[in-house]
Amino acid sequence: MLWGRDNDSYMFRDAPDLRRCVTCGDPLEAHYINPGFVLRRRQYDISATYDGVVIASHRLREWTLRHKVEGAEWTPLPSERDFFVLTATRAVAFDAKARRTRISPPCPSCGRPHSVAGAAPALLQVSGPLLGGFYRTDLEFGSGVEKHPLLMIDLTTGEKLLRERMAGLEVERACTAG
């Protein structure tokens, strides 16, 4: 599991063009990019907004492209040209039952639960180690607008990234219930 330090920024705040659920207010676009997004702490190669969006530097993107790390999607930020939103294209099943994750009832309009609590330490439903790059959990954690999947990376690449001293990077080993 990998994540980044807080960057003291918001993706969904001051976002007049964001479509939201009329009942619960959650964003209806999974990959919404705020055209006026301001990154307040710029020293990190990987960081996270208060509303759960992972921001990656040009340096991190170049490294993963050069090492042919798969499964990452890099969405440009029109207002922050040296940074990207990092998401994973492949999903891996989170073991919510074994983790005893608490999922609130679904919103009657958009179907999303208001809150999903109990992510760490991450438990996955996989038959072996993750291989070859980035993944996301099939479950989003947090409450309201901040809900987001956990970002996962295979162990070899995660250790390489730590050796590269990517600023802001945090890595923690996930496991299975068995």
Contact positions vs Zn ion (CB under 5 A): 21, 23-24, 107, 109-110
CB of residue 107 to Zn ion, shortest distance in Å: 3
Strand partners, 85: 55, 75
CB of residue 116 to Zn ion, shortest distance in Å: 14
CB of residue 104 to Zn ion, shortest distance in Å: 12
Q: Are 100 and 56 in contact (CB under 8 A)?
A: no
User: Cα–Cα distance between 147 and 12 in angstroms, integer?
Assistant: 12
Provide the 10 A C-beta neighbour count for residue 33.
17
Which CB, 26 or 154, lies closer to Zn ion?
26
Q: Give the three-state DSSP class for 58.
A: helix
Which CB, 69 or 145, lies closer to Zn ion?
145
Structure tokens at 95: 């073991």
Which CB, 105 or 128, lies closer to Zn ion?
105
Which CB, 25 or 121, lies closer to Zn ion?
25
CB of residue 146 to Zn ion, shortest distance in Å: 14
User: Cα–Cα distance between 7 and 153 in angstroms, integer?
Assistant: 21
CB of residue 113 to Zn ion, shortest distance in Å: 9
Which CB, 24 or 33, lies closer to Zn ion?
24
* Residue 95 C-alpha from the chain's centroid: 17
Q: Give the three-state DSSP class for 30.
A: coil
